[in-house]
Structure 1
Amino acid sequence: MSFEIDVGLASLQGRRERNEDFAGVQRAAAHESDRGWVAALADGVSTGGDGLMAAQTTVMALLSDFHATPLSWDASVALERLLATQNAWLAAYNRRDSRRQALCTLTAVALQGRRYAIAHVGDSRAWLLRDGACLQLTQDHRMERADFAGLTRAVGLDDLLHLDHSQGELQIGDRLLLTSDGIHGVLRTRDIARLLREATSAQAAAEGLAQAALDAGSHDNATALVMDVKGLGALGYADLLGQSHTLPVPGLLGVGAVLDGYTVTAVVADNGVHRLLQARDPAGQLVALKLLHPSRASDAEERAMLAHELWLGRRLTEAARGRRREGAAAGLVRVHTPAAPSAFYGVFDWHAGRTLEQLLAKQRLDPAEAVGLATQLAQALSLLHAAGCVHRDIKPGNLHLGDDGQWRLLDLGVALSPRAPAALRDLHAGTPSYINPEQWDDPPAAADAGSDLYALGVTLYQALTGRLPYGEVEPYQVARFRREPAPLSRLRPDVPMWLAQLVNKAVGRDVRQRFETPEELLMALERGAARGVEPVRASPLAQRDPLLLWQLALAVSVLFNLLLVAWLMWLPKSG
């Protein structure tokens, strides 16, 4: 089901000389639908002189920038940082001209996944109508005394902005409302609730509230922004993270066990941390279930990492469809969302076939098969890297050839993304023989897109030759990288020269000679024999092993000095 919101907006000037309220709504682009919606309502403080400007710029800045914030920021963080920046600008503006003050109230709501997040300052308000009951979600920042009546907080009032934040779960049928004080200042809560319940649409509700406020004698601008939740989007990262903390981990399910309508048909793998099961869904289709091992049920870090894997897998396949990247989409495994899970687990498409590791146990790939593997996996990596993600564990065991002839990238369990939890970021992940040499340096380089391309190159080298370019590498065994890999053409003469040079380039010891992006690799694969690939130059000894170079220099120096001493000893002595 798509994330569908029906929006209604009404803003009436009333008895004021001008309307200083400003409100708006913005939804994310189709290919980034998981970023959701954002709405905001600001009420300019008329006594300041530039209240309308403050209201307009605050709302517009928030709406235009919210969906461009880093994915590592959750909704509350994004609201906080964007509004803090706007507040700093308005505060500086107000210091330059104390006669014309630009101040406004602000109530904003972000809808992502199946949750809402509210940021609020001033005396505008947010409301929620659910199952007929109307709940006020914000509290006014206003002081009413005999000697003073006014706002205690506003955007632009102080150098530091103090926002109220709240979050909650969304449900289909929810009606969210933002109002300026021109409405709730004259209408009682029961009147607002009645008008919300009676309206047949979001627009009708907004217009009814604004007009009712003026009819009740409001002297202020009357603005109402209504959002009806018609359909919820897929679970967002915050939703999955919440599930990971609250739902139990299933026990040791065996063949025949049923979990939320999924009937287990086989236990595929169990590594003590995760269990992978084959199952049939309620419609009879085969799927794969990924669960934490019961012994890890209390491990909060493992729960968070599995939640991240499920979110990332769904986000990437959605992004591929949104950008019409069918090849990339086929190179990934689609993640499903259980309707009403009673436990914490993931559901994936099931693809019959074998991993590259299983295939290589019987025979090596021929050149055409290797090109197909490289092309399809480079397309998947292109999508992954464009989203700011790194797989970190490309190897034969994580590459799967389905019965449909499509290669797929498995296991995003250690993949990095902008939303990756701290435990995942701190993990030095990957299989040593497929980790690029820079990650073994002191200090080590971070895993990046080049790391995935290097690992794919090692995999291609192994698929064609049956050998690893640098042999079996143990952690921090840097001596393995002091020699260049054996040229692939020497080990496999039937491989075309251009393909051999391409693979040699991908696994080169010098990072500057390798492919920098999946697109560069794809271009080399497409050009093939027509253009060829520039041969990899051997790294000089000074770069491969500086210590050995100095040792050789010292040995030559010592030998020269010994010969000199010997020569001096054998010189004839004068009488």
Structure 2
Amino acid sequence: MSFEVDIGYSSERGPRDVNEDFAGAVRAPKGEEARGLIAAIADGVSTGGRGLEAAQTTVMGLLGDYFATPETWEPTAALDRLIGAQNAWLADHNRRRHGGGAALTTLTALVLHGQSYTLAHVGDTRAWRVRQDGEPAAPLTQDHAFDHPDLRSRLTRAIGLDDQVRVDYVQGDVRVGDCFVLSSDGVHGALKPRHLAALALQGSAAEASEALVRAALSAGARDNATALVIRVTGLDARQLDDELGDVRRLAPPPVLKVGDVIDGYVVTAVVADTGVHLLYQARDQGTRKLVALKTLHPARAGDPQERAMLAHEAWLGLRVSTRADSGFVRVHERAPGASALYTVFDWHGGRTLEQIRKAQPRGAVADVVAAAIEVARALGRLHRHGVVHRDIKPGNLHLGDDGRWRILDLGVALSGREGGAQRELHAGTPSYINPEQWEGQVADEASDLFALGVTLYQWLAGRLPYGEIEPYQSARYRRDPVALSRIRPDVPIWLDHLVCKAVARDPRQRFETAEEMLLALERGAARPVSAPSATPLIHRDPAALYKIALAISVVLNALLAFWLLFLPR
């Protein structure tokens, strides 16, 4: 899904001999629609007649290359890299011309993504936002030109003017009905903001752009007149940049009590206080439905890493919980006028597996298999999104009152868009972490499958396959897990082999994908998997052979010493 927009463009040379303005807009390519669209306008500076060359190459280069930048780049990073490269190229050509005239241009670029906009601006072209409230058009940019009346056409910044260019960036939210206007000085220099706003909202976007240019020329514009009108008629789902924007703009609420109201939600219960996060049950005053509100504890409200992780979790939840049977709790989009930083989830009554095990440490085989199938299917969906959960355990598996199992807490998940601090965090619960992570490897999809295997083993056996692992231990796995059928005779051999395969010490013996594990669970005894072979001692404890050799050496030396000292010669 992407922005739904109506775009109009009009440009006239006016009293000038040549039209040196240039503008355009490009949508994201197929398959990357979530990246939105980019529009840009440039006004070439007539130095030696090369203004059009500068404007055209700048706009076409930016529009052509923006969606070729990595999707993980934040819009300001992509724009800064591309504008800097174009400026360096123009500045270099200007130095080589030796009096043949410099190619300079202004630039205003607009990126619409998710439910936000990002503006990049150099020079005296302008961007305006017009809303249907009768107010004058609001300029989003500030001209880079001398303030003296006789020097207003002299720019203090331009693309190609110097080896380095300083770009102004502006970011904000977008609403349905917003109208953005990119204009050259031939338009905004001749029209007052209120007149510009009225014209921008007339007819279609194409009709509005033509009306703006005609009105500017009729008002005596002394330069080329160009207007690019973009009306937002539909919004994409929130993107990570939207969530990060809220992190910058909003603060977590203070500690809430039962009965407190925040943005239309009435707090009905305080569910959890971890010292890092607060979780509330609340009722939506509009729909009367129960929801869960998750926010940061005031003690951690100023931590930028925790704020970024909360934003990342909200964005991931929106991506993976679009279907009712996704296996994840649905996340609600935060209202545009939200007064504080929090995430809204559907509320589901029920219990986590950890709570279920407290009442009944060992689960019935049929219940375990049914749950494993649902969780493996949800993990498969998560991994197809390119996301690694990193903390699968009984406390994060929830059985709702509707009978569905769901995976909770994407707070430490990896998606490729998380911050560096979250990526480097050694997340997860030690007893459920696969051995490779203790040896320095990064968590991946296999880590989630191993953790699910440990969870199933614990649920069936009432104990962990490798025992409790403490964070400060080296976590070397010195023995293979005991077969489940030796602990519980009612566990069928096919399930025993499946779980032991999932928690095998050697990663090559485990399931490679969640789909493979799901298929094995669904086939059951019809096509059982083979039991993993015993892990050689050298793999379980590489130092064991040296220890054995040392012990034999000590014994032999002791016998030799005894023979030399005490036995007759």
Same fold (TM over 0.5): yes
* Matched residue, 2:226: 223
Equivalent of 1:57 in 41, 56, 60: 60
Q: 1:149 to 1:541 in 2, by over 3 A?
A: same
C-alpha contact 1:353 1:400 (8 A) present in aligned 2: yes
* Matched residue, 1:249: 253
Does 2:61 align with 1:39?
Answer: no
Question: Relative to structure 2, which stretch is displaced further, 18-27 or 400-409?
Answer: 18-27
* Matched residue, 1:555: 551
Q: Deviations over 1:45-93 (max 9, x none)?
A: 6517844761453133245336x520xx433223213433455566678
* Matched residue, 2:357: 360
C-alpha contact 2:331 2:343 (8 A) present in aligned 1: no
Does 2:331 align with 1:334?
Answer: yes
Q: 1:56 to 1:246 in 2, by over 3 A?
A: closer
* Matched residue, 2:71: 69
Question: Relative to structure 2, which stretch is displaced further, 203-212 or 56-65?
Answer: 56-65
Q: 1:224 to 1:382 in 2, by over 3 A?
A: farther
Does 2:447 align with 1:451?
Answer: yes
Question: Relative to structure 2, which stretch is displaced further, 219-228 or 461-470?
Answer: 219-228
Q: Distance in 1 between matches of 2:462 and 2:548?
A: 34
Q: 1:56 to 1:38 in 2, by over 3 A?
A: closer
Aligned residue type for 2:481: P
Aligned residue type for 2:140: L
Alpha-carbon distance, 1:550 to partner? 0.8
Question: Relative to structure 2, which stretch is displaced further, 404-413 or 15-24?
Answer: 15-24
* Matched residue, 2:81: 81
Q: Distance in 2 between matches of 1:560 and 1:52?
A: 87
Matches within 5 A, 1:191-202: 193=196, 196=199, 199-202=202-205
> Number of residues paired by the alignment?
558
Aligned residue type for 1:414: V
C-alpha contact 2:252 2:296 (8 A) present in aligned 1: no
* Matched residue, 2:207: 204
C-alpha contact 1:515 1:521 (8 A) present in aligned 2: yes
Question: Relative to structure 2, which stretch is displaced further, 456-465 or 204-213?
Answer: 204-213
Q: Deviations over 1:497-550 (max 9, x none)?
A: 443333222212223333343334334445554554343233322222122221
Matches within 5 A, 1:197-346: 199-213=202-216, 222-230=225-233, 236-241=239-244, 243-244=246-247, 246-247=250-251, 249-254=253-258, 256-282=259-285, 283-293=287-297, 296=300, 301-318=305-322, 321=323, 327=325, 329-338=326-335, 340-346=337-343
Structure 1 stretches lacking a partner, 5+ long:
none
Does 2:353 align with 1:351?
Answer: no
Q: Deviations over 1:195-218 (max 9, x none)?
A: 535623322221212334455676
Matches within 5 A, 1:341-490: 341-361=338-358, 362=360, 364-421=362-419, 424-441=422-439, 444-478=440-474, 481-490=477-486
C-alpha contact 1:21 1:55 (8 A) present in aligned 2: no
* Matched residue, 1:538: 534
Tell me the secondary structure at the aligned position of residue 294 of structure 2: strand
* Matched residue, 1:138: 141
* Matched residue, 1:8: 8
Question: Relative to structure 2, which stretch is displaced further, 353-362 or 213-222?
Answer: 213-222
Question: Relative to structure 2, which stretch is displaced further, 475-484 or 541-550?
Answer: 475-484
Q: 1:423 to 1:572 in 2, by over 3 A?
A: closer
Q: Distance in 1 between matches of 2:94 and 2:540?
A: 61
Equivalent of 1:168 in 164, 167, 172: 172
Alpha-carbon distance, 1:494 to partner? 3.9
* Matched residue, 1:503: 499
Q: Distance in 2 between matches of 1:409 and 1:241?
A: 24
Tell me the secondary structure at the aligned position of residue 499 of structure 1: helix
Structure 2 stretches lacking a partner, 5+ long:
none
Alpha-carbon distance, 1:168 to partner? 3.4
Aligned residue type for 1:204: E
Alpha-carbon distance, 1:482 to partner? 1.7
Aligned-residue sequence identity (percent) comes to 54
Q: Deviations over 1:205-263 (max 9, x none)?
A: 21212334455676865432112244555555455445556445243413x44444433
Does 2:491 align with 1:491?
Answer: no
Tell me the secondary structure at the aligned position of residue 281 of structure 2: strand
Q: Distance in 2 between matches of 1:366 and 1:188?
A: 76
C-alpha contact 1:11 1:221 (8 A) present in aligned 2: yes
* Matched residue, 1:127: 128
Q: Distance in 2 between matches of 1:62 and 1:123?
A: 23
Q: Distance in 1 between matches of 2:92 and 2:478?
A: 58
Q: 1:371 to 1:222 in 2, by over 3 A?
A: farther
Q: 1:273 to 1:22 in 2, by over 3 A?
A: closer
C-alpha contact 1:25 1:40 (8 A) present in aligned 2: no
Q: Distance in 1 between matches of 2:563 and 2:137?
A: 104
Q: Distance in 1 between matches of 2:88 and 2:516?
A: 43
Q: Deviations over 1:158-217 (max 9, x none)?
A: 5544322223344554321112355446x2445862653562332222121233445567
Alpha-carbon distance, 1:455 to partner? 1.1
C-alpha contact 1:115 1:239 (8 A) present in aligned 2: yes
Does 2:509 align with 1:513?
Answer: yes
C-alpha contact 1:127 1:136 (8 A) present in aligned 2: yes
Q: 1:479 to 1:383 in 2, by over 3 A?
A: closer
Q: Distance in 1 between matches of 2:194 and 2:250?
A: 37
C-alpha contact 1:210 1:222 (8 A) present in aligned 2: yes
Tell me the secondary structure at the aligned position of residue 481 of structure 1: coil
Tell me the secondary structure at the aligned position of residue 288 of structure 1: strand
Alpha-carbon distance, 1:290 to partner? 2.5
Aligned residue type for 1:39: A
Tell me the secondary structure at the aligned position of residue 6 of structure 1: strand
Q: 1:485 to 1:91 in 2, by over 3 A?
A: farther
Q: Deviations over 1:345-381 (max 9, x none)?
A: 3321112222112222315334443333333223333
Aligned residue type for 1:24: A
C-alpha contact 1:90 1:103 (8 A) present in aligned 2: yes
Q: Deviations over 1:14-42 (max 9, x none)?
A: 67667762311425878864x44432224
Aligned residue type for 1:199: Q
Q: Distance in 2 between matches of 1:299 and 1:147?
A: 46
Q: Distance in 2 between matches of 1:366 and 1:456?
A: 17
Alpha-carbon distance, 1:107 to partner? 1.5
Q: Distance in 2 between matches of 1:527 and 1:88?
A: 62
Q: 1:531 to 1:180 in 2, by over 3 A?
A: farther
C-alpha contact 2:2 2:33 (8 A) present in aligned 1: no
Q: Distance in 2 between matches of 1:166 and 1:340?
A: 19
Q: 1:299 to 1:374 in 2, by over 3 A?
A: same
Q: Deviations over 1:454-501 (max 9, x none)?
A: 211111211222221111111132355122222334334444444333
Give the TM-score, by structure 1 length. Answer: 0.82
Q: 1:247 to 1:30 in 2, by over 3 A?
A: farther
C-alpha contact 2:264 2:284 (8 A) present in aligned 1: yes
Q: Distance in 1 between matches of 2:93 and 2:373?
A: 55
C-alpha contact 2:388 2:415 (8 A) present in aligned 1: yes
Q: Distance in 1 between matches of 2:246 and 2:226?
A: 37
Alpha-carbon distance, 1:421 to partner? 4.6
Tell me the secondary structure at the aligned position of residue 321 of structure 2: helix
C-alpha contact 1:21 1:221 (8 A) present in aligned 2: no
Q: 1:89 to 1:541 in 2, by over 3 A?
A: farther
